[in-house]
Chain A
Amino acid sequence: MKKLIAAAALGLSLSVSFAMAETVKVGMITTTSGGGAGLGIDVRDGFLLAVKNAGADIEVIVEDDAQKPEIAVQLADKMIQSDQVDLLTGIIWSNLAMAVVPSVTAQGKIYISPNAGPSPLAGAQCNENYFNVAWQNDNLHEAMGAYANDAGYKNTFIMAPNYPAGTDALNGFKRFYKGELAGEVYTQLGQTDYAAEIAQIRAAGADSLFFFLPGGMGIAFMKQYAQSDVGVPAMGPAFSFSQDILGAVGDAALGVKNSSQWNKDIDNAANKQFVETFQAEYGRLPSLYASQGYDAANLIISAMGKADVHDTDAFRAALKEADFDSVRGDFKFGNNNHPIQDIYVREVVKEGDVITNKIIATAFEDHQDAYAAECGM
C-alpha cells in the first residue's frame, strides 16, 4: 500500500514537473501603433517583464491590431490556426474585445483580458474561457460616482467616447452618483479637438466635470480644457490620468482626482518589485496598464505551476484560483471571472520633476461589478 502511494506521488510529481517544463505559447493582440499605442505598449512591457522576472517558460507572440476590430479578428484567427497558441491576451479596446473574445472562447481557447472589460462579457455573455484580470469597465467610474457624492458635487457634466467602454463608463458613474447631471456628451472615438464640447461644458453651469478619455484623447482634452479657463473642477477614472499621458499633459493635470485599482505606492512586496524592475528595464514609471499586463502574466504563470495548459479544464480551474501575488494586493475572481478588488481615489501630484499619482483614499473595498448576477456561471 505504502509503495503504491509512493509510486503515485512520484508519478504525480513527475507529471507536474512535466507540465511545468512545457513551453506555453501566448498570443498577444494589442495596440502598438497610432494614438492608443501607449496603452498597448505598457501592457506588453508589463507582461514581458513578469515573464522575465519569473524566468517562466512562456513564448509570447505580439501582434499590433492598430486599434481596428477587423485586424484584431484576423490576428486572432491567425494566432489560433497557424501559430497554434495556447492562450490569448492583450486587447486594449472594448470594441475590439467584443469582436474577438466571443469567437475565441467559442473555439475552446482561453482568453485573459489585461484591459478591456465590456459589460456584456461580464453579464449575459460571460464565458468560462474568458478571464478579466483588470476590471469590469464600469468599476473605476463607479468609484468616481461615489467620490463625487463625497466631494459634495451636485451638478456634474459627464463625457465619454461613443464606444462600448464609453457607455459603460457613464453608466458606471451614474450608478453611484446621486446628484443632477448638467449634461451628458458622447464624443467620437479617437477625436482630438474638444472645442465644441468645452464650449458646452462652459455653458452648462456645472459644478464639476467627469470625463473618460483614454490615451491621446485624454491628453488633447486636458490640455485644451486647461487652456480654456473653464474653472470647473475635472475628475475621471485612472485612464484619463494614467502615467503614459501625464507627461504630455503637463501641469494642467495637477490636483485632479481619479480612481484606480492600482498605483505605484500600494505597499506590498510584489508591487515594489514590479515598480523597481519596470523602471530599471524600461527607464520610465509604469502605468496601470503595465500593472495589468504584469498581473495577467503572473496569473498565467501561477496556473502553469498547477496544471498542463493542454488540459483546458484543469488549467481553467487553476486560473480561477488566482493564486498569484497581484501588485494591487487582494485579488480574486467572482463567479463571472471578473475581479473582486479594492478601488482607490488618487490625486495627480508632482514628485520632483515627474508628474504622477498618489493614493488619497479608498473608494471601495472588495468591489464586484454590477453584471455578475446576470452571468449564469
Chain B
Amino acid sequence: MKQEHTPGKKTYRYGMVIDLDKCTGCGACMVGCMAENNLPFRKDNSDRLRSNLWMRVYKISNGRPFPDADISYIPRPCQHCEGRDHHHATPCVSVCPATATDYSHETGIVSQIYTRCFGCRYCMAACPYHVRVFNWWDPMWPKGMKKYLNPDVSVRMRGVVEKCSFCYHRLQRARNKAYAEGRRELHEDEYQTACTQACPAGAIIFGDLNNPEHKVHELKKSLHAFRLLEKLGTNTKVYYVSTRGWVRKAGKIYTGKKGSVTHP
C-alpha cells in the first residue's frame, strides 16, 4: 500500500458524477460493464447476492402513497475511496493481507490484482458499498461466447475477489495511443468508462476531478451533489446529483427507520 505518489509526477483523480434525475434504471451501464470486463454470469443469474456485478443499479422509492410516490435509481460502481488519512486509508486496501489491492495516488483508482488475491474476502467485509464480489463459481460462458471476450481484460478464476476498475485497461490503451502520438496528456473523451458510454441518458459523466477542463470538475461542485456515506470519511470519487431532497438523503447512513427511503 503506497501512501505517497511519486514526487514531481502529475496526479489525476478520476471520478464520476452520476445524475440521478436523468437515470432511467435501464441497466445499460450494467450490461456495458459486463461485456467490457468479461464478467461471468450463470444461466440463472437472479441471485443478486452471488452474481458478479461491478456496476449495480439500485431502485429506491420515497415510500409515500400516490400522488406523492416517487422512485429513483442509483447506479453504484466502485466508489474508489481515497480515505482521509494514514489510519483511514481506502477501507479495502488497508485490510488486504496480501497486498492484492492498491490505491494509485497517481490516478486515484483502486486496483485489484486477481492473481495475487487468495480469496480471504476481508476487503469485502471492509467495503460498506458492497462493490466487491467474489467468484463463487468457475467463470463460464455459453458456447461460442468466449470469442467475444475482451482481450484487454483478464478473466478471473473462481475463489478470488473482483471489482470495478474504472475500466483501467482503457486508460492504459489511451495512454499508449497518446504516447505513440508524442503526447503526455489525454483528452477527456479519450478515456471513458464502458458504463459512461453505454448510458443512453447521459447520466454518467466521467473524467478527472482535478482537471478544470473536465465536466466532472464543475458538476461535483453542484449544490445538489452528494456522495454515499460521506460521514464515514471514505472520501469517495463517485458523486451523485439530484434535485430531489429525498434522493439526496439516500446518501446517508442506514438509520433503521422505515419510511424515508425504502425498497419497493
Co-complex (A, B): no
